[in-house]
Chains A and B, each alone.
Chain A
Amino acid sequence: MKKLWMLAALLLLVLTAACGGGEQSSSGDGESSEDGNWQPDKNIEIVAPSGAGGGWDTTARSVGKIMEDEEIVEQSVGVVNKPGGGGAVGWSYINSTNDPHNIFVSSPPLIFVPLNGQSDLTYEDFTPLSNMIADYGAFAVAKDAKWDNLNELFEDMKEDPSSVTVVGASSPGSMDHMQFVKIAKAAGVDIKGIKYVSAQDGGALTQVLNGSADVYSTGVAETIEQVRADKIKVLGVTSEERLDGEVLSQFPTAKEQGIDATFVNWRGFFGPKDMDESAVTYYEEKFKAVSETEEFANIRDQYGWDEMYMDSEEYQKFLKEQTDELGTLLEELGLGQ
């Protein structure tokens, strides 16, 4: 039965690809001038594989806006939302249109979702263009919790990992869960015993505030306001060094507490597979230019993101390492497929 479905899906994919191909030949693949430089010959479309308002959407929109405002690209840049499947719907759209004018923004879920068996497409089915920024995770507990740093928490968890409930917004095997697992493993906790609860719609923070859960695993930006209001305390963040900012700089890293592990929530742009080399060079130049603008520096500050530019080649290598590392962790948890 499963095979039949796969076959049908494959057939459909081939069909849509064929249609897409037909369209392309009439609209063109973009111009390649004599010296082999690729130029877009129509508007660039950035797909945010999520609904409006999330991290992917914000990144896509701010980068698109700077590209237009600072006249980094001559064509106009549109952002399209393709929500669904934790990104999988947007990815299969890029994969099937296979047009170098259509690119998308992504982050660690591009690694997690396929590893969890929720998408057949992996990062290898796309061309990494450039990574732009790095964001980090934070582990917070209620203000009156008995732990004051990660080591105290992990000491308790080493004795009985199931005595602590961790809550996050993503599903098990995805970001909020795995960033905690990665740090906990480095601290020597038996990661198979960790209790992780997934709560959407603001439920994660609520559960830590009312004591239903103990540890809130989330992005650093989400904790700032609650820390300022003295509702929660951040035990540790996953960055290499302390972050900049009035509140952020108070958060100790896991590393300085003697736990040798980090987790980067990277965010960058990808194109369809088998992109022309000159098109890749084109995008690399443009994204590098965006990354260096003052406007983008302001946006990074506003959201508490770090600069982390990587060109296509570095990015490819980085993704390979990430996939191997996280794949091993997921296998150990029994979640990988």
Chain B
Amino acid sequence: MGALDGLMQGFQVAFSLQGILFVLIGVVTGTLIGMMPGLGPISAIAIMIPVTYGMNPSSALVMMAGVYYGAVFGGSTSSILLNAPGISGTVATSFDGYPMAQRGEAGKALAIAAISSFVGGTVSVVLLMLFAPALAQVAVSFGPPQYFALMFLGLTAISSLSEGSTVKALISATVGFMVATIGIDAQTGTNRFTFNNPNLMEGVDFLVIALGLFALAEVCFLVKNRKDQSLSKQGDIGNLRLSKQDFKEMKGPMTRQSFLGFVLGVLPGAGATIASFIGYITEKRIAKKPEEFGKGSIKGVAAPETANNAATSGAFVPLLSLGIPGSGTTAVMLGAFLVLDIQPGPLLVTDRPEVFWGIIASMYIGNVFLLILNLPLIPYIAKILKISRPMLISLVIIFSLIGVYSISFSTFDLYLLLLFGLLGYLMRLFSFPAAPFILAFILGGMMEQAFRQALTASGGSLMVLIEDPVSIALLSISVLSFIVPIIRNRVRQRADHEGTEQ
């Protein structure tokens, strides 16, 4: 009964005039900031914290939550249009979104992203509302061995992200691993590959890699191929109306990834990034035509976009019901709570039900606002592509530089950005895929930490990794996902062989 009363109270907060107004302010600011290449939810929340000083806590937090999921919602824009992902959660969106835009279907890609974000966001809010207090147990159920298994599963995506040469994909991933080890090692405090340079001690920021390998490499490529006429289609926005067939294709990924994304979002540390990658690869694995992925597949846009928005709501479970921030973004969000003298934790739901349920209830309205706002805006946003090529290229460079500088305020990171831009260009030139690099960089660091935490606790025994049903299940799925395609290929080859022989 308590939960229902609380929920009613929450809806009262969310549906009051003030509530609606602040949700609107929040999501508008969030999407706008999220759309900028290089700026993501962290910057959006940090920018908005001073605005909340002296505000009523429930209105302020409803707004901040809006900023957060609004920024994730808008984050796909720069991935799709410019191949410049501003947050790690939208890297996977660029795999198919950008090819679609290049094909002259930018409008359609943005519409798919908006609709699947809406579905992912809304379904997960229902789940959040029904299960938030109960899911608190799930959130802490993962210890280091389970995280290791989960990251391992994510890494099997490397094989499915490689087009053409698997060896090149593995080389790319290995370099990604190596870059992930730069900085002070958390388990021993030793400097690794920092050359005594304090700027490298915190490691290389994700944004430097993403904007370097994707956005700047793309810019170099556009400059090199500036005379190529086949690229002129890129200025086309295309029809943004989706056909029945399109919806039919989106339906599967949207349903599955709303749930999967939410569950992964609930786990602290996993969050939107891993949800979007795992969403992308599961859809690719079960798709009838996996070869379409990476070339502008509708499912390839819908899956990660549904998953990352669902995961964003999921991330509120550990934050609200345990007071545990699962990511850098939710840590800043936790700061926003503390500024308002609200302590998220197990007692929040009883101490301040209007805040707890108000945030959840406001997400319904927020997601509707986002859809209404974004769909009509798509033709205007996509017009970015109509800007003349030299101008567009300069803008991407400027935004990438601003995005990186705003994270660390250090010029050193700008040189690093250029370095990774050059690396990305060379990789494309020699057709090394960049996706395995960034996947290994994101997952590899977390996987290493989980592995070593598990081994420290177990006193060095590897058995700890396979002692628990969850980790066994995850590791088995990983192994199967390696073996099954190989066997399938063998069988197919043999069949082909026999076919030709006869």
Q: Which residues on A are within 8 Å of B, measured CB to CB?
A: 2, 5-6, 9, 52-53, 80-86, 88-89, 91-92, 116-120, 162, 165, 171-174, 195-203, 205-207, 209-213, 224-226, 228-229, 231, 302, 335
List the A side residues contacting B268 at CB < 8 Å: 201-203, 206
List the B side residues contacting A198 at CB < 8 Å: 186-187, 453
Q: Which residues on B are within 8 Å of A, measured CB to CB?
A: 46, 49, 139-144, 184-189, 191, 195-199, 201-202, 268-269, 318, 322-328, 331-332, 334-335, 341, 343-347, 408-410, 449, 453-454, 456-457, 459
Identify B199's interface contact among A84, A86, A165, CB under 8 A: A84
Of chain A, the residue at the smallest CB distance from B196 is A5
A80 to B49 CA separation, bound complex (whole angstroms): 16
Identify B202's interface contact among A9, A52, A84, A207, CB under 8 A: A84
Residues A201 and B331 in contact, CB atoms below 8 Å apart: yes
Residues A172 and B187 in contact, CB atoms below 8 Å apart: yes
List the B side residues contacting A92 at CB < 8 Å: 198
Chain B nearest CB: distance from A169 CB in Å? 9
How many A-B pairs have beta carbons closer than 8 Å: the answer is 142
Query: Chain B at the A interface: mostly helix, strand, loop or mixed?
Result: loop
Residues B188 and A172 in contact, CB atoms below 8 Å apart: yes
Of chain A, the residue at the smallest CB distance from B200 is A85
Complex A-B, nearest 5 residue pairs according to Cβ-Cβ distance, in ascending order: A229-B346, A212-B143, A85-B201, A53-B335, A225-B345
Identify B184's interface contact among A118, A162, A224, A228, CB under 8 A: A118
Residues A226 and B346 in contact, CB atoms below 8 Å apart: yes
22 A-B pairs within 8 Å (CB atoms) are namely A9-B196, A52-B335, A53-B334, A53-B335, A82-B409, A85-B199, A89-B198, A89-B201, A92-B198, A172-B187, A173-B189, A196-B456, A197-B457, A198-B453, A199-B449, A200-B186, A206-B268, A206-B324, A212-B454, A224-B343, A226-B346, A228-B347
Identify B345's interface contact among A119, A199, A229, A302, CB under 8 A: A229
From B141, B328, B346, name the one whose CB has the most chain A CB atoms within 10 angstroms.
Answer: B346
List the A side residues contacting B143 at CB < 8 Å: 206-207, 210-212
A174 to B186 CA separation, bound complex (whole angstroms): 10
Residues B140 and A171 in contact, CB atoms below 8 Å apart: no
Chain A nearest CB: distance from B264 CB in Å? 15
With contact pairs A84-B201, A118-B191, A229-B346 given, residues A197 and B453 touching in the complex (Cβ less than 8 Å): yes
Of chain B, the residue at the smallest CB distance from A169 is B186
Of chain A, the residue at the smallest CB distance from B347 is A229
With contact pairs A9-B196, A206-B268, A212-B143 given, residues A165 and B191 touching in the complex (Cβ less than 8 Å): no
Q: A117-B191, A171-B186, A198-B186 are in contact. List 17 more A-B contacts (CB 8 A).
A: A81-B409, A83-B409, A84-B410, A86-B184, A118-B201, A171-B188, A173-B189, A195-B459, A196-B456, A201-B268, A201-B269, A202-B269, A210-B142, A210-B143, A225-B343, A226-B346, A335-B189
Chain A nearest CB: distance from B43 CB in Å? 10
A203 to B269 CA separation, bound complex (whole angstroms): 8
Chain A nearest CB: distance from B276 CB in Å? 18
With contact pairs A174-B189, A200-B186, A202-B325 given, residues A86 and B346 touching in the complex (Cβ less than 8 Å): no
A220 to B461 CA separation, bound complex (whole angstroms): 33
List the B side residues contacting A5 at CB < 8 Å: 195-196
Chain A nearest CB: distance from B443 CB in Å? 15
Residues A197 and B140 in contact, CB atoms below 8 Å apart: no
List the A side residues contacting B409 at CB < 8 Å: 80-83
Chain B nearest CB: distance from A2 CB in Å? 8
Residues B326 and A202 in contact, CB atoms below 8 Å apart: yes
Of chain B, the residue at the smallest CB distance from A174 is B189
With contact pairs A198-B186, A228-B347 given, residues A84 and B46 touching in the complex (Cβ less than 8 Å): no
List the A side residues contacting B457 at CB < 8 Å: 165, 195, 197, 212-213
Residues B140 and A201 in contact, CB atoms below 8 Å apart: no
Chain B nearest CB: distance from A68 CB in Å? 14
Chain A nearest CB: distance from B411 CB in Å? 11
Residues A86 and B201 in contact, CB atoms below 8 Å apart: yes
Residues A172 and B184 in contact, CB atoms below 8 Å apart: no
Chain A nearest CB: distance from B426 CB in Å? 25
Of chain B, the residue at the smallest CB distance from A52 is B46
With contact pairs A84-B410, A172-B188, A225-B323 given, residues A202 and B201 touching in the complex (Cβ less than 8 Å): no
Chain A nearest CB: distance from B391 CB in Å? 33
Residues B199 and A89 in contact, CB atoms below 8 Å apart: yes
List the A side residues contacting B199 at CB < 8 Å: 84-85, 89
From A210, A224, A228, name the one whose CB has the most chain B CB atoms within 10 angstroms.
Answer: A210
A81 to B406 CA separation, bound complex (whole angstroms): 11
